[in-house]
Structure 1
């Protein structure tokens, strides 16, 4: 049974989230949260934290987005013969300011590439 309240969207490859300065690819996003993928995070992220969202091609930067870790998993790399494990993290947005909500809506409008 689907528990999500908000429709999820795939995100263009040039959108990144930063956790403690470590870049993560934003796999998908909704008004309620996002899924990140990383091969560089060595330590597990904290259960609650603030992250930054960045899109270089759009000069978009949203700082200190409060999130709560709700899921974690590992997926094999899509590169043939690679031993790299892709770490996936599901985050739920915390209490956003009105400005953060507005900027997040802008991000979704400009950077999604279809429903997830």
Structure 2
């Protein structure tokens, strides 16, 4: 059985057990604590980002990530195929990926350091 199915079955069993205990008259402790004063929370920042460039036929699509990110993968997309970039260069601690002239687009995945 998949783990998500097991979790769902476990949750259903827990709810059923709590309802039986409540019907018998035995009180059960509160499962949810009262809410404390709400504090606004900033939306989560994604750990991954995708950068796309479509100038490969003219300049090879040299693409890099921001200084606080690491280049995770670079895929060169051509008219009939896609492959990982094998043109990687490192300058001043920043990695740049590029594609050959037969590619039309590069898709780079960046992750926060």
Decide: shared fold, TM above 0.5. Answer: no
The higher radius of gyration belongs to 2
Structure whose residues are more often strand by fraction: 1
TM-score normalized by structure 2? 0.27
TM-score normalized by structure 1? 0.26
Structure whose residues are more often helix by fraction: 2
